[in-house]
Every structure is written in structure tokens, then in C-alpha cells.
């Protein structure tokens, strides 16, 4: 149904464009280079015949596929983001294509001895015989979420080329800055005009998610005092040593690498310091709202106790909520999840319904009035050098989009 070479070439075209976002820049979008892919997408959407194409001043792209039926059905939407994670470089991506994967180690970079191995990433084995697109070991790939973008564009192109496939009005949107938590901030839900939508931003084939973490960032700033080390007794306060104690005060088991499922965590993802000042940057995650609030209080209490011990205000914590668990907004409209689930079953895809150990634009959009479950885009090992995507998974995700469009038109 979907041409394999065509979808592969489209994906390779998108990942060649560096769209890394910047968490430290308050501008919108946070990097000018996101406009480069946005403009390419406008050209492609125009070429394939989409209508009402708009690229606004904030780098949101919206477009419409008009209904081709003579009765009313809900307007639905599909959403993906164009930026890539600042956790690992997305510049100068050089993808590698592995045809008919044999289940063995994949040497990504012989010179640097970087190997993608099923002995460590055992999910590779479910894709034996398929075509994998990997990195060259020096960058991320960008399947998060250029695979989702690829699938949405390809699905719209296919529906336009096959008018015999019935569908209602479909709206699509590509957002900037999802990876830095701002992707839905300026999303105009009223202008989008869909009753509900799906983000194409999940991982392995079959994933279907309507629960996600409650999320916050925490910046811990620790002040010290620099004094010549030869005369430091009773005078120097080394902020890095206090930072070490602060880190140790958090539960050692509550970290990403030791949690799964619904378990929350504190994740120290960046630290910069010297004697006079050390800054720790955490993300706080939990599915349960009460536990989430407890985690925020816990990290604030550590700071309070440290200041009490040192009898001065050395430690400060700035916490900012990022997004919340969309389950609250999806549960009342669970039929939108069941539609996607049934389409997957029709396509012989086993639905994997589980909580997202992260977040998507859909979480924020759900709280803005656009219920928005998340569907697999097909990639694995996002945000790093071992990222890969099976082409067959992208094809299946595209077929799911087409199937949902069809399913909406069925009269009970």
C-alpha cells in the first residue's frame, strides 16, 4: 500500500535538516533552524494537494484535508513535532540503512567502535528481516519525531491520491519546541478546529498511550564562598560538596534507570559548578498527582533542611510545572482510544496500551481542550546515538492514520 522507498526517502530528507531546540532560549521557536524544516513541509503539503496551509509567526504549521463524504463526521487531527532533542546533537545526521537486518550487532561507527547490539538493545530482535535506519554513532537520528511527521505527510498524500478511501475533514499540525516542553504552549486549539487528535510520537510498533507523567523541572542553586585554600579553615564554603550531599539526600532508587511503569523519579540531567556556586538541574516525574506533589515538596524540604543545618540561605530551589497526566481528560472520551486500538487490530498490529514514561504535546493539548492520545511512530532509543527506526514500522503507522480516517466514516 505505502511505497517503501518513497517513505524512506521522505524520512531521510527530514532528518538531514538540523532542528535541535534550545531549552535555555525563551524565544519561540527556540532555534531559528526549525524554520528550515517548516518551510520544506509547507512546500510538500502544497505539492501533495493539502488545503488551508498555514505557517504562523510561531512556526506552527496547520493544514486541512477536506472531507470527501456527503455526511457529517467528527473533524479529527494528527500532530507531530519538528524539533529534535537538545540532549544529543542532531546536526549533520548521517543515517545508515540496514536492509534485511540479520539480528546481529550493527557497527555504527568502526573508527569510534560504536556498536548497536541486540545483546544490550534486545528490542532489535523483533525486527529481524526488516529494514532499519540507524545513526552513524555520532548524532541522534531524529525519528523523534520526524518519523511522525513523515507518517502524517505520507498518509495525507495517500488519501489525496486515493479518493475512493472515504474520510471526513482532517486537520494536521506540526509543532516546534516539543522537546523543550513548549510545543503546545502557543497551539491555537480553536483555530485547529478538531474534535480530537492523535500525536504520532510514540516508540515501538503497537504503542497506544493515553496516560503520561505529571512533569516539573527543578533548578537547585547552591551558593558557596571562595577563600584561598591555605587560609580556608572555618571560612570556605564549597558549593560542590554541598551539592554532593544534596544529590545523596534524594532516594537512590528513584532514578530513571531503576524505575519502570507507573514509578516516578528524580532525574539529575545537568550540573555545573565551582566553589562559589553549583547548579543542579532536575526533572521530576510521577503519574500519580499526589505523589508528584509529594516529590516537589520533598526536594524543597531538602533545601530547607540544608539551610537550617548551615544556618544561612545557601540552597534555593525553583520548580516549574511542565505538563500533567492526560488520563484525566482522555478517560471521559475513551472511544477515541478504542478507535485507534481497533484499527491496529484490523491491521494485525498488537496494541500495546501503556503509560508514557514521558510526555507529548498531546498531554498539554488535552488540557487545552483537544483530547489527544499518542500513537507509535516506530523509533527506538530516542535522544541518543543508538536511535533507530524500522521502515516497516513507519509504514504501519501511516496505515494506522489512514485506517483511523476511514473508521471515523463508518455508520453504526
Domain boundaries, the chain: 4-212+325-408, 214-323
Output the nine-digit C-alpha cell for 282. Answer: 532536575
- What per-residue confidence (pLDDT) applies to 313? 95
Write down the H helix ranges in 286-387.
289-310, 327-330, 335-346, 361-367
The domain made up of 4-212+325-408 has a fold known as Aminopeptidase (3.40.630)
Flag whether pLDDT at 412 surpasses 80: no
Q: Is there a contact between 44 and 152 (Cβ–Cβ < 8 Å)?
A: no
Residue linked to cell 474534535 = 195
Q: Mean pLDDT throughout 20-48? A: 96
Q: Is there a contact between 362 and 192 (Cβ–Cβ < 8 Å)?
A: no
pLDDT tens digits for 145-175?
999 999 999 999 999 999 999 999 999 999 9
CATH of 214-323, one of 3.40.50.10280, 3.30.70.360, 1.10.10.10, 3.30.70.1400: 3.30.70.360
- The catalytic residues are 83, 178
pLDDT tens digits for 99-129?
999 999 999 999 999 999 999 999 999 999 9
| 87 CB-contact burial (10 Å; exposed 0-12 / middle 13-18 / buried 19+) | middle
Supply the mean pLDDT for the chain: 96
More confident residue, 358 or 3: 3
Share of the chain above pLDDT 70, in %: 100
CA 250 to each of CA 84, 194, 265, 366, 404: distance values in angstroms, whole numbers, following the listed order: 30, 43, 10, 32, 44
Flag whether pLDDT at 338 surpasses 80: yes
Share of the chain above pLDDT 90, in %: 95
Q: Is 369 left (phi over 0), alpha (psi -120 to 50) or beta?
A: left
Q: Mean pLDDT throughout 195-205? A: 96
pLDDT band at 181; cut points 50, 70, 90: confident
Flag whether pLDDT at 259 surpasses 90: yes
Residues in the chain: 412
- What per-residue confidence (pLDDT) applies to 359? 79
- What per-residue confidence (pLDDT) applies to 411? 74
- What per-residue confidence (pLDDT) applies to 191? 97
Say what the pTM is: 0.89
The reply to whether 214-323 shares the fold of 4-212+325-408 is: no
Amino acid at each position: 500500500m505505502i511505497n517503501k522507498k518513497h517513505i524512506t526517502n521522505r524520512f531521510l530528507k527530514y532528518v538531514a535538516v538540523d532542528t535541535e531546540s534550545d531549552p535555555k532560549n525563551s524565544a519561540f521557536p527556540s532555534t531559528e533552524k526549525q524554520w528550515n524544516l517548516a518551510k520544506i513541509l509547507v512546500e510538500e503539503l502544497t505539492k501533495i494537494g493539502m488545503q488551508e496551509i498555514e505557517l504562523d509567526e510561531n512556526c506552527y504549521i496547520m493544514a486541512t484535508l477536506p472531507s470527501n463524504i456527503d455526511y457529517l463526521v467528527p473533524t479529527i487531527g494528527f500532530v507531530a513535532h519538528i524539533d529534535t532533542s537538545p540532549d544529543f546533537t542532531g546536526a549533520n545526521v548521517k543515517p545508515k540503512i540496514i536492509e534485511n537486518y540479520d539480528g546481529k550487532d550493527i557497527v555504527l561507527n568502526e573508527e569510534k567502535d560504536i556498536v548497536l547490539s541486540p545483546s544490550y538493545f534486545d528490542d532489535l530482535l523483533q525486527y529481524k528481516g526488516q529494514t532499519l535506519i540507524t545513526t552513524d554513532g555520532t548524532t541522534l537520528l531524529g525519528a523523534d519525531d520526524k518519523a511522525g511527521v513523515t507518517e502524517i505527510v505520507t498518509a495525507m498524500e495517500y488519501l489525496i491520491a486515493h479518493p475512493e478511501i472515504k474520510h471526513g475533514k482532517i486537520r494536521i499540525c506540526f509543532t516546534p519546541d516539543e522537546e523543550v516542553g513548549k510545543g503546545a504552549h502557543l497551539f491555537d486549539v480553536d483555530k485547529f478546529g478538531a474534535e480530537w487528535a492523535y500525536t504520532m510520537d510514540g516508540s515501538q510498533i503497537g504503542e497506544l498511550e493515553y496516560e503520561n507523567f505529571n512533569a516539573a523541572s527543578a533548578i537547585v542553586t547552591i551558593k558557596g564562598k571562595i577563600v584561598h585554600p591555605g587560609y580556608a579553615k572555618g571560612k570556605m564554603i564549597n558549593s560542590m560538596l554541598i551539592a554532593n550531599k544534596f544529590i545523596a539526600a534524594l532516594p537512590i532508587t528513584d532514578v530513571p534507570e531503576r524505575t519502570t511503569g507507573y514509578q516516578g523519579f528524580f532525574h539529575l540531567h545537568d550540573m555545573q559548578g565551582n566553589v562559589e556556586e553549583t547548579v543542579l538541574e532536575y526533572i521530576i516525574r510521577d503519574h500519580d498527582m499526589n505523589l508528584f506533589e509529594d516529590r516537589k515538596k520533598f526536594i524543597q524540604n531538602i533545601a530547607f533542611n540544608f539551610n537550617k543545618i548551615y544556618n544561612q540561605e545557601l540552597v534555593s530551589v525553583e520548580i516549574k510545572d511542565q505538563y500533567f497526566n492526560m488520563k484525566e481528560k482522555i478517560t471521559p472520551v475513551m472511544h477515541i482510544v478504542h478507535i485507534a486500538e481497533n484499527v491496529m487490530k484490523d491491521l494485525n498490529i498488537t496494541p500495546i496500551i501503556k503509560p508514557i514514561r514521558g510526555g507529548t504535546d498531546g498531554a498539554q493539548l488535552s488540557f487545552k481542550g483537544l483530547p489527544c492520545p499518542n500513537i507509535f511512530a516506530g523509533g527506538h532509543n530516542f535522544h541518543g546515538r543508538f536511535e533507530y527506526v524500522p521502515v516497516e514500522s513507519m509504514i504501519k503507522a501511516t496505515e494506522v492514520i489512514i485506517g483511523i480516517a476511514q473508521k471515523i466514516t463508518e455508520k453504526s
